[in-house]
Chains A and B, each alone.
Chain A
Amino acid sequence: MHLVQQILFILCAGVSVYFFSKKVGEIRRNIKLGKDENLTDNPSARWRNMILMALGQQKMFKKPIPALLHLAVYAGFVIINVEILEIFLDGILGQHRLFAPMLGSLYAYLIGFFEVLAALVLIACVIFLIRRNVLKVKRLNQRELDGWPRNDANLILVTEVVLMSLFLIMNTADQVLQSRGAEHYTLTEPFWITSNFTGMFAGLSDGALVAIERGGWWLHIIGVFLFLNYLPYSKHLHIVLAFPNAYYTRLRPQGEMANMKEIQNEVLYMMQPELAPTADGSQPAQQRFGARDVMDLSWKNLLDAYSCTECGRCTSACPANTTGKKLSPRKIMMDTRDRLEEVGKNISVNKTFVDDGKSLVHDYISVEELRACTTCQACVEACPVGIEPLSIINQLRRYLVMEESNSPQEWNLMFGNVENNMAPWKFSPDERDKWAEEMVNS
């Protein structure tokens, strides 16, 4: 019997790790479709950002209530995973509560602590479900979440509730069995929470209890394996990618827009032709100005897209969105990920990307959305994990204006004025210092 369980467990673990690694490899490949951007400077500042932002959740605390609930789930998730290590080793070695004899009385404290965390996670997830589905918090119910994104969020929360319940039920049954001196069930000191509920199972036979305990154990670990494989398809991937994303986040002031060296040089060679490299046929192929599709964005923009957990803090801070415009920075990130996944599937099937006649701009993100942005950086400021929706918006706008000459008539007039009158309005450049002359006379 034990051997069968052991073999089954190793098989499950193997299959789950195989599929997980395969998907991780695809995501890695997809992110590398982005353009190069060197973000390895100043490692000490980057480590600091990772520790404060990802590990310490510093930016979450702008909204204290969700931050505390999230902290409970996060701490529970990370710390309870130590227990997963024991469950995993038990599964492979055919043991039960492998660590109990090694840790002595400390073991019960440890499990007790895990139980407290599990209970906190359970409560927090129930509150999160209520916030989403009953209280209908605005940022968790906007239109870009219709369909799969909303189900994704609820599915994760329900899974967490189920996993934590299984963990607690398993421990309760275990302690009843312990107290009856059942074979194989190592006697431990009472666990903090579940020891209070053993009365629930008092009337059950040993066989039924073993079934509950084993059932709980198996469902829990299978749940964990399924969750692991669900993760890369879900917004929940942020639990992993928040860390690299915070590390690679921007260090320069938020107001600064990325320079386009190729255009800088083009202008330089136009103004000072003597500096232009002599044409020896080795000039790089015509590049795209700005971004039309995900491959035109930088790898960091693509990492951003996979790191987004669709919390909507960006969108609720966006002046365009809060005044009813179509733009939602969260949707920009979701669209980028969806399109990147589509491109990734295309590559998996065809070995290389075969043009599917679609692009990120137009097919996913409309011109109207892009036009509504005031570049106020509220979305960048709001993101707890250092995502920059504005960077993508800016690059798509560059493509629209420079490659498609797609800009509103008023902007075309403004461009003409800047070019001819050196100011965005139609004033004569000679009048630029008229105010100063007026001061002489005053």
Chain B
Amino acid sequence: MMIKSMAEYAANGETPEVLFWVGCAGSFDQRAQKITKAFAQILDKVGVQFAILGKEEMCTGDPARRSGNEFLFQMMAYNNIQTMNAYGVKKIVTACPHCFNVLKNEYPALGGDYEVIHHTTFLQQLINDGRIRLKEGGEFKGKRITYHDSCYLGRGNNIYEAPREVLQALDVELVEMKRCRTNGLCCGAGGAQMFKEEEAGSTRVNFERSEEALETGANIIAANCPFCTTMLTDGVKNKEKEDSVMVLDIAEMVAKSLA
């Protein structure tokens, strides 16, 4: 399949339906690349006209801003907004809740006003509109699955139901962790923790969260964030459960279930 960039659309005088904001994890991290590819494959299969920024995309500045480096954040935001405004971007979909939060809530004050949607919400809409058609009795049907709310999709932006509705559409047996929805426990990566060693403590945040997920007896931990996916995968490995329990992004689950 061909994935076109905004520049290619613009060269043909065309505008795509939506810009797929891939994000740094989705672009470079080997595990997250699989999520990116799965999501792109879904968009392609159902015929959503989408573009990426390609080499013109830059870090949104989220880890810089959360760690306190506002100057660097503003530099990144300035450049990204210049690029997107030049292309006349109207609608953005992204598979990273950190990018989602910054693009949706923090760029408007800086002159970047777009309709921003997280990929789980987008998938739910495509399913509801009948554009995504799922296999009868797909591979996740009846599987015991728990869902991890990421902080920036859940508490940050009050999106709790869309990802769960997608899972329901896959006919899974959804089991909730003790701390879910507004009480959901962080995976430990946010606030630029992903990029540094954890402070001294009795355990790691991702170990604590993964243990909670494993306690549900689920075979699959469904996530919506590339950083959560990494943290939870490490936590599952720490308990030596990686052979029986998988950590998957919701997009990967949908991609495997397409009719």
Contact = CB atoms under 8 A, between A and B. Distances in A.
Interface of A: 62, 252-257, 259-260, 263-264, 266-268, 271, 289-290, 317, 319-320, 322-327, 368, 371-378, 380-381, 394, 397-402, 407-408, 410-411, 413-415, 418-419, 422-425, 427, 429-436, 438-440, 442
What 3 A-B pairs are tightest by C-beta distance, nearest first? Answer: A255-B156, A324-B202, A401-B68
14 contacts: A320-B199, A323-B205, A374-B151, A374-B186, A375-B66, A398-B70, A402-B69, A407-B67, A414-B192, A418-B64, A423-B59, A436-B54, A439-B1, A439-B37
B68 A423 contact: no
Given A324-B201, A433-B5, A424 B59 contact: yes
B106 A432 contact: no
B252 interface: no
A319 B70 contact: no
Contacts of A438: 37
A53 to B, nearest CB: 14
A271 B74 CA distance: 11
Interface in B160-216: 182-183, 185-186, 188-205, 207-209
A63 to B, nearest CB: 11
B190 A375 contact: yes
A399 B69 CA distance: 9
Contacts, number: 219
Given A264-B110, A415-B64, A418-B59, A440 B1 contact: yes
Interface residues of B, number: 72
Contacts of B151: 255, 374-378
Given A255-B156, A320-B199, A381-B155, A394 B68 contact: yes
Contacts of B221: none
Given A267-B71, A425-B28, A323 B208 contact: yes
B185 A415 contact: no
B259 interface: no
Contact of A435 (B36, B106, B158): B36
Given A254-B156, A255-B155, A323-B208, A374 B191 contact: yes
Contact of A317 (B29, B63, B183): B183
Contacts of B157: 253-255
Given A374-B190, A407-B67, A408-B196, A324 B72 contact: no
B197 to A, nearest CB: 7
B106 A257 contact: yes
A260 B57 contact: no
Contacts of A259: 106, 109-110
A435 B26 CA distance: 9
A381 B54 contact: no
Contacts of A394: 66, 68
Contacts of A62: 183
Contacts of A327: 199
A440 B52 CA distance: 14
Contacts of B199: 320, 325-327, 368, 371-372
A374 B68 contact: no
B101 A255 contact: yes
B52 A433 contact: yes
A401 B40 CA distance: 37
B205 A374 contact: yes
A66 to B, nearest CB: 15
Nearest to A390: B191
B24 interface: yes
Contacts of B76: 418, 422
Contacts of B200: 324-326, 368
Nearest to B181: A381
A419 B185 CA distance: 31
Contacts of A429: 55, 58
Contact of B3 (A263, A371, A440): A440
Contacts of A431: 27-28
A320 B191 CA distance: 12
Given A271-B78, A435-B36, A376 B191 contact: yes
Nearest to A371: B199
Contacts of A411: 67, 69, 192, 195-196
Nearest to A442: B1
B69 A415 contact: yes
B61 interface: yes
A260 B106 contact: no
B66 A263 contact: no
A219 B224 CA distance: 60
B71 A263 contact: yes
Contact of A423 (B27, B101, B106, B152): B27
Contact of B57 (A375, A378, A432): A432
A266 B71 contact: yes
B58 A400 contact: no
Contact of B65 (A257, A326, A434): A257
A374 B189 contact: yes
A253 B185 contact: no
A434 B24 CA distance: 12
- Most chain A CB within 10 A, of B52, B61, B75, B191, is at B191
B2 interface: yes
A367 to B, nearest CB: 10
B134 to A, nearest CB: 22
A355 B107 CA distance: 38
B257 interface: no
A137 B40 CA distance: 49
A378 B186 contact: yes
Contacts of A256: 101, 105-106, 156
